[in-house]
Structure 1
Amino acid sequence: MASTDSKSTDTATPLPGQETGARWLWGLRVSALIEIGLFFAAAIAIDLLFFGGHRFTEVRPHPFWFIVVLVSVQYGANEGLLAAIAASVVLLFDNLPPQSFGQDVYDYWIGVGLRPALWVGIAQALGQLRGRQIRERDILRARLHNVQKQAEVITASFDELKRAKAALEARIARQFRTVITTYRAAQAMDAVDEGRLASGIDDLILAILSPRKFSLWTLTPSGFVLTRAHGWADDEQRAKTLSLDHTLVRHILGRGSTLNVARRDDERVLQGEGLLAGALTDVDTGEVVGMLKIEDTAFVDFNLYTLENFGVVCSWVGTALIRSRRWRELQRDRVSGGNAFLMSEEVLDRMIGLLSTLGKRQGFTSSVMVIDTIAAEVSDAPEVRTAVALAVGEAIRASFRSSDLAFESQRHDGRFVMLLPATAVEQAKAIIDKVERAIRQRLPKGQSERKLSIKAIDITEMAKPTAESRSG
């Protein structure tokens, strides 16, 4: 038989098996106490008004059965026992039936206590059944809760596995793209043209190191000067020059080792300027031409693989820059261009200055004819540009005087310059049509309709910008 715990006086902590969402008092649900109280208050009022206050003694079945059965079935044995006791008290308090003449005392008390005993017995029987049902429900709820927790854990694990799978696929795809991009960047690194080399360097750094922000610096007599930055915001405040007395510059030039912010000593040297920094050096001579610095990168990309490749990239970029610099130095002294009939642009600058000065002294005028063979929107393959240059050279050799000179421009693809000594602009304009016909006759197949722009310029107009560019 279930019984209440006399030590339970708090409503905050329910007993084992009790519903956590309900309010409790002395191990009993507060809602059951309220229902029992309201029922008996209403029953007593109805009895006093309509049944003479005899507590429904003659009514069959007795109305108190309703509250006893209802509370037992709804709440369990404890609340059912309370309802049975309350019904017995309300029925018998100051309402004991008179003992009949000649009735045995035992028979009398058996008759008086039979109904309360039935109430208690029925309350306990129904309450125990209800209690077992509640316990089984609680067990099922606990199992369901555990299953839900397990399902949440499995779902979270599955989602994490999906994210890991997606990240792995992305990393594999990125590595595959990195191989292709590295190959293309390596091809661009073979260029000596500054624009193509700069693009190739950017592609190489992004393909191998995957930085969010990086910068390239050139070594000057006063220190490092920022040449190019990638990923920086327009309003981002960063130093554009680093003097020779800067700690970072002294370390790069003195030791030449790679600086890594993960090392405590290197972090003090970097002074918040970046995560990685390394000298751009020539592998053969050890000459330092600049510095590569990474300011920001993803956490997963800042690993041992990146640190090892950073030094390789610095050496690669340094060698490419030195090769480009040496090529430019050789170009300054070169006489002939890529075509045997055409001379280099460096010679053109010298000849323009010479003829301009000589013309002023001797009183004759020279002119320059500029030939553009490529429209601004056209981008030719190297073999096409070579074929066009050969066609222009042959046309020049066949159409021009022995005193005329032809030059190939390295600063502008598809541009050729004709130097016409002792020839005024009006005379040069007269032979433009002849030159255009000679060039078109010799253009390779598929290029005969190519756009050509030919104009004549006085040599004095060309001499002034040339002199300013040399002085700058």
Structure 2
Amino acid sequence: MRTRLAHLLRRGGQAGKRPARTLAYAETAAALVIIVGAGLLLQPQNPGFVGVSPHPFWLVVIPVAALHGSPPGYAAGAASALVYLGLTAVQAGSVTNPALLRPDLLLEPVLFLVAGGALGELREAQRRREEALLQRQEELERDLQDLAQRYLASVELARELERRIADQTSTVTTLYEAAKALERLEVEELSPAVLELASSFVDVEACSLYLLRDGRFVLAAGRPENASRPRELDVSGGLPAIVSSERRTATVHELLTEPTPGRLARQPMLMAAPILDTDGEVAGMLVAERMPFLRFTPAATRLFTLLGDWASSAFQRALRFQQTRDRNVEDELTGAYNHAYLLKRAEEEVFRARTYGVPLSLLALRAEDHERIPPVRLPGVLRTLSLVFRHHIRPVDVLGKHAEEGTFLLLLPHLTAGEAEALAEKLRREVEGFGFKPFETDDRTLRLCTGRATFSGAGGARELVEAAVRSLGKGSG
């Protein structure tokens, strides 16, 4: 009721200004006519009420300015001043009479004009404050209604969660571990955790997660893994089109007029929720492919939307961590480039090798039985290996680290397979000749495992790295 009243008052304030001002001007003219007429009847020798205090014209100036604001206030003051001066001139018998310029005669009309303008401006400022307060009141009431709706939705969601927890087949420990998995900072580890929560909380029997890569939504994880599903989402139609364009959760109810159990069972997707990045753009989609018909309720849709929000926050946090980590291109311990930077350099060298036909090789290097090296000695071993490698490579070679702990990658532009193998053999001899004994239980000296891959014209940087890592140990001495 208050909102409607505020709306009507604001509309009245805007649309009714012109008629109100016209009325104010009419009231001013009528009041002046009445006062002047009364003066002519009651005291014809002093129709301008000169010397009368307070002057009757204040009955026009003050009410009009206080009620109608600045334009009518100025008009009332000016009209009163002009009428006063006119009547005074008539009473003096001539407009050129020097007596009309007396300060006591001019003070009154000046006060009419100043007071009318000042009171009008005060009233106008008050009116603007009233309109601002009414608008603020309406905004607060809208916010209150929105909060009330959110509160009701939260209460209903809490009840649904309580019911779910009461009859949940999974244990509290399982749910806790799945939720804790969302705190991981590796993007690759988040996808299975999100699907685990979808299965546990929303009773989804089959679900999948797609992430945006090179402008396409590519399958990142699926549950169960052996289920048949597309490797890439088609966002030109269906639920993916709604999610990508409107950035909200969409259900199959929006596409089917009669969602019977049989028709739902034939649908490839029941629900899809967006995974948003920090800019609010869709960076992925969480898809519910199959769930029991009786569980496919509005409450399940809300839970699925909430899970999408959680997943968005988790992926944003992981991506921020990854970006921060990738900015530090050098490993503090060994001085080697990190894996992300080495991949970037490898992509550049692969492009040159493919374009100009020059050779390109890559070595994977790792201490033999590195997992048996005590943790307190492993940093020293890695620093030693890094120093040995740097001493024997060219300025154009790139030494970096693999994502797997303890593994180095050595990018060798313009080296053939034979030249790369010769360098690997040289590095093995240098490490063995160093005589370093890092093991705690025996006196074995440190040995080096090597793997080699040479670019053949097919594949990319990742394939080159994977090939070198797979061959680790085959070329060790």
Taking structure 2 as the reference length, the TM-score comes to: 0.45
Is the radius of gyration larger for structure 1 or structure 2? 1
